[in-house]
A and B are shown apart, each in its own frame.
Chain A
C-alpha cells in the first residue's frame, strides 16, 4: 500500500516554456502533499506544502508565481514550472501524507532538463 506515482518521469523542455508534473496517491487519500527539489549531490529541498482544497504554503525563496501548485483532490497534486530556465533543471520529487500518519510516501521523481 501507500503508492505514489509521478508523471512524467523525465522531461526535456525549451527555455521559456511551462512544464506540468503530476503527483498521484494511488491507494490512499493524501491530505497533504509535498514538493521537493534536489540538485545533483545535494539533499532534498522542500519547495512547498499543499493541503487538499487550499493554497500551497511555499518555503522561503521559492517563487509561488513560478512554481504553481494545485491540490484539487485528495489523490492529485500538480506542480507547474512556468517560463522554465536552465537553472530550473533539477530532480523534482513529490511526497504524500494521509490522515494522522506522519510518514511521507515518495513518488519516483521527475527529472526536468531545460535547454
Chain B
C-alpha cells in the first residue's frame, strides 16, 4: 500500500531551527511536495523534490533521499508566523498526490 508518515506535532523556539521528517512508500515515485497550511486556510506550496539532495529556498530547505524513501523540511530562523501544519505529499506512478496527515508546528517565543 501507499503511505506517508510524518510526526503529528512538533514544538520549537522562535529563532531556532527545526527539521520535519517524512518517510514515504508509494507505488512508483514522481517526486515529493511540501505544503504549508495555516489553520482555516488552504495549503500553499513550499517545495518540490524529485532528485536526491537538498534544495534551499530562503529560510526553508527540503531534502530528498530516494533510496531511503525519506525527506525532510528544514526551517531556519523560525518566526511566530511559521506556526502552521506542514504537509508532506508523494507523487505516485499515476501522478496522484499521496498526502501525509501533516505535522503541526508550534513556535514558542
User: What is A's interface to B at a CB cutoff of 8 Å?
Assistant: 34, 42-44, 46, 49, 91, 93, 102-109, 111
Contact = CB atoms under 8 A, between A and B. Distances in A.
Given A43-B100, A43-B102, A102 B42 contact: no
Given A43-B100, A46-B99, A49-B96, A103 B87 contact: no
B1 to A, nearest CB: 13
B97 interface: yes
A102 B48 contact: yes
Nearest to B6: A43
B101 interface: yes
A103 B48 contact: yes
A108 B31 contact: no
Contacts of B31: 102
Contacts of A102: 30-31, 33, 48, 91, 95, 97
20 contacts: A43-B87, A43-B99, A43-B101, A44-B99, A46-B97, A46-B99, A49-B96, A93-B42, A102-B30, A102-B33, A102-B48, A104-B97, A105-B45, A106-B35, A106-B43, A106-B44, A108-B42, A109-B41, A109-B42, A111-B40
A107 B102 CA distance: 18
Size range of the chain B interface in the assembly: 20 to 34
Given A43-B100, A44-B87, A107 B42 contact: yes
Contacts of B35: 106
Given A44-B87, A91-B40, A103 B45 contact: yes
Contacts of B101: 42-43
Nearest to A109: B42
Nearest to B30: A102
Nearest to B99: A44
B44 to A, nearest CB: 7
Nearest 5 CB-CB pairings of A with B? A106-B42, A43-B101, A109-B42, A43-B102, A93-B42
B36 to A, nearest CB: 11
B44 A103 contact: no
Contacts of B44: 106
